[in-house]
Each structure stands twice: as C-alpha cells, then as structure tokens.
Amino acid sequence: MSAMPRAIRSGTPVPRAIRSSTLLRSLLLVVVAGLVLLVISDQLSAYRDLQLATGAYYFCVLAGLTVLAGSSGQISLGHGALMAVGAYTVGKLANAGWAIVPELAAATAATLIIGVPLGVAASRLRGPYLAGATLAFAVGLPALADRFPTFLGGENGLTINPPTPPASLGATFPLERWEAWIACAGALIVLFVFYNLGRSGVGRALRAVRDDEISASLGGLRIGRWQTLAFSLSAAAAGLGGGLLAVVTQTIAPGAFPLQLSLSLLAGVVIGGLGSLMGAMWGAILLVFLPNWTTDAANSFSLSSNVSHNLPLAVYGVVLIGAMLLWPSGIQGALRAIRRRAVAAFGTGEGRTPARTRADGEAMGTAEAPSGTPSAAEPSPEAGAQAPSER
C-alpha cells in the first residue's frame, strides 16, 4: 500500500498543521470569511451593501470592546467618542488628498495614541468611576467640533469625497459594493489580529488580570500596564471603525457620535456575548437591524418623533435585561450551551475531548467551560503559574 493512502487514512499533515497553529487557523478563517462576504456582497442590492458595510465597521468597534470588557474586565462608555477621533482623522486627511489605506492607518494610529493616556487613567479607576470617566469623555469630545468650527466644521461637520472603485472593476461597478469591500477588509484585519491575540500570551495575561488581579500581581504581571494595553488596543479598533464609518457615509458631524452610540455599543457587545468575537458579530448585526425595526414599529403605530427617536435605546435596554435573565453569557453563550446539549443528547461529539470542545467554542478565551472544568468567570488555577512567563 502506498504512502499516500496511509497518510490520508491517518490524517493529512495539512489539517494537523492547521489544528496546531493558531496563525494558520486564523488565516484560513479570514480567507473563508472573506470569500463568503465577497459572494454575499455580489448578490446584495446597494442598500444591503451599505448595511453590510455598517455591520463591518460596527464589528471593528465591538471586537475592541470584547478585548476591553471581556478579556481585561474594564468597562467603557466612551467608544463612540473614539470612533469620532478616527472619523475626523479620515475626514481631514481625505480632504488633504491622502489615499484610503494611509487614511485608515492614520486613524487607527491617532486613536491608539489617544487611547494610551486614557488607558493609563482607566487602569487607576474601577467600577462606576471608570464608567463615569469614559462617559465624560464621550460627552465632552464631540463638543470640540463647536469650539473649532474652522478646523472641524462645527455642527455641520466635514464632507469627504467617496472612494473611487478601481478602473479594473469596470465603470459600472457599484460604489456601495466597493465601500462594503473596504469595510469588510478592515473587519477581517481586526478579526485576524484579535483572534491571534486572544490565543497568545497577551490574551492569557489579560484573562489572568481579569480573573484575579491579586494573583496576577503575585505572579509578576504589571496590572496597570496590561489594562492600559487592553484599552489602547480597543481604542485603535474603535478608531478604525470610525474611519470606516467616514468612508461609508462621507460625512462626519458631532451629531453622528452621541452618547446613545456609546451606550448602544456596550449593549451590543453584552447582548452578543462578552469576550467572544462571534458575540461581537451578533452585536454588530443587532446594531444594524434593530434601529430599522424600531423605526418601522414607531411608524406603524404613528408614534411621535421624540418617542421614535428614543425607542431604539429603550429597546436595547429591554433586550439587554431579557438577555441577562435568559442568556447571561449573551447570544453566543446561549448557542454554545445549545450545542453542548445537542452533543450530549445525540452523541455527535464522539472523539472530542472537553478541552478541544472548549477551545473550539472560545473566541477570546471566555467561553463557558464544560462541566468539571473552571469557568471563564472564575479565577483559573493555572493563571498564576502561567503569568510569570508572559511578562
């Protein structure tokens, strides 16, 4: 019998390499997701392509919040303002004649730079004090546009030219599809970075800090530095999301970044599933479709403009309360629980160890653990042992 059939029967080296390498797994995930999005966008109308682009830049922001809240245990109510930083950066550079890739890179870098001092301040605050500080940032930063109307455009904001599709795509290529491709490319980059981050020593150190700061400190981790790093990375993702918003909408104004946006972002990531990139995806879908549903409901019941304007936030609150009562770990946690019950009931998980089941379900190391293993919400007994090697 030849060596090739034996290799096929025993498992080819390629799947083994993919299973053993986080980098290869993430590359495969990004390639497959990119191909799926490419096919989907080709079948969508212009309006649906814009919704796809909207979901993509929301995913960038929610993935950053996943790192911040899910992996390091910090809460931010100021990510709407961080999106504004990225959006205004893109707006100013676009009007100065920059290309789109340097614009988005600069938006990410500018928000990262702003996120460092914010992260230093956030690492010294806890609970409601941290939420209050980021809330003040969300309220105060958009008001700067009124103080510098010449530079930032005041209440009217800035207008930028839409991105031009490459000539190789044809003269009739839809602008909305090109914007969806750009936004999805940014979302895939964020997915690749945070997928690898969550499974690296950095991700394990952040989870150790989140689970038990005292044990992590005794293990040699600098708590403040790791929390600052988490806030800075989350800010960079929010800046990229804001830059993509500017590319998609072509307008940047203070009214696009109200306090309601920051609250909606936090509600979306909690409802989707804290600590899970799949949860960030569910949250992005919710942020795209829920306002449309609530607007349609307000119109069908002939509600006043004030009620219809505040209805989405009220619905977010109701959905958040319901999710916390029914699915404390969010939509993604509920889906994991359903899958585990299905595996237990029908025996479809034959040959899979509990460790592999948990690893497959994790997106940032906070998946619910199978019975008999420590949960993500509890301090892991290995956290102290691993922490010194991750300094």
The lowest-confidence range among 42-46, 266-270, 375-379 is: 375-379
CA dihedral 372, 374, 375, 380 (to 10 degrees): 180
Question: Higher pLDDT residue, 350 or 296?
Answer: 296
CB 237 within 8 A of CB 190: yes
Per-residue pLDDT at 322 exceeds 70: yes
How many H-runs (helices) and E-runs (strands) does the chain carry?
Answer: 19, 2
The lowest-confidence range among 26-35, 223-232, 244-253, 318-327 is: 318-327
The lowest-confidence range among 47-56, 303-312, 355-364 is: 355-364
Average pLDDT over residues 186-190: 95
Question: Higher pLDDT residue, 324 or 223?
Answer: 223
Q: Which amino acid is at 302?
A: S
Nearest Cα to Cα of residue 66 among 249, 283, 242: 283
Average pLDDT over residues 5-27: 64
d(CA 59, CA 237): 9
Domain ranges for the chain, please list them.
Answer: 14-390
Cα–Cα distances (Å) from 112 to 220, 257, 344, in that order, read 26, 18, 44
Share of the chain above pLDDT 70, in %: 82
CB 366 within 8 A of CB 276: yes
Per-residue pLDDT at 105 exceeds 90: yes
The confidence band for 12, taking pLDDT boundaries of 50, 70 and 90, is low
The lowest-confidence range among 10-14, 93-97, 176-180, 230-234 is: 10-14
- Calculate the average pLDDT of the chain: 80
Per-residue pLDDT at 98 exceeds 80: yes
Per-residue pLDDT at 354 exceeds 90: no
- Report pLDDT for 17: 63
DSSP E strands, 207-323: 251-252
- Report pLDDT for 238: 95
d(CA 140, CA 172): 43
The lowest-confidence range among 9-13, 38-42, 229-233 is: 9-13
For residue 239 the two structure tokens come to: 């800046």
Per-residue pLDDT at 242 exceeds 90: yes
Q: How many CB atoms lie within 10 A of CB 333?
A: 24
Q: What is the pLDDT of residues 39-54, one digit of tens each?
A: 999 899 999 999 999 9
SS3 364: coil
Average pLDDT over residues 128-146: 80
CB 216 within 8 A of CB 224: no
d(CA 22, CA 28): 10
- Report pLDDT for 380: 43
Per-residue pLDDT at 70 exceeds 90: no
Q: How many CB atoms lie within 10 A of CB 259?
A: 16
- Report pLDDT for 14: 55
Average pLDDT over residues 336-350: 78
The lowest-confidence range among 98-102, 163-167, 221-225, 310-314 is: 310-314
Dihedrals phi, psi of 198, to nearest 5 degrees = -65, -20
Cα–Cα distances (Å) from 24 to 16, 20, 21, 30, 85, in that order, read 11, 8, 5, 10, 33
The lowest-confidence range among 147-156, 206-215, 299-308, 344-353 is: 344-353
Question: Higher pLDDT residue, 311 or 106?
Answer: 106
Per-residue pLDDT at 187 exceeds 90: yes
| Range 20-45 burial, b when 16+ CB lie within 10 A, else e | eeeeebbeebbeebbeebeeebeebe
Per-residue pLDDT at 372 exceeds 60: no
- Report pLDDT for 72: 78
Dihedrals phi, psi of 251, to nearest 5 degrees = -135, 140
**DSSP 8-state code for residue 159:** E
Average pLDDT over residues 132-142: 82
In terms of DSSP H, where are the helices of 141-174?
144-147, 149-152
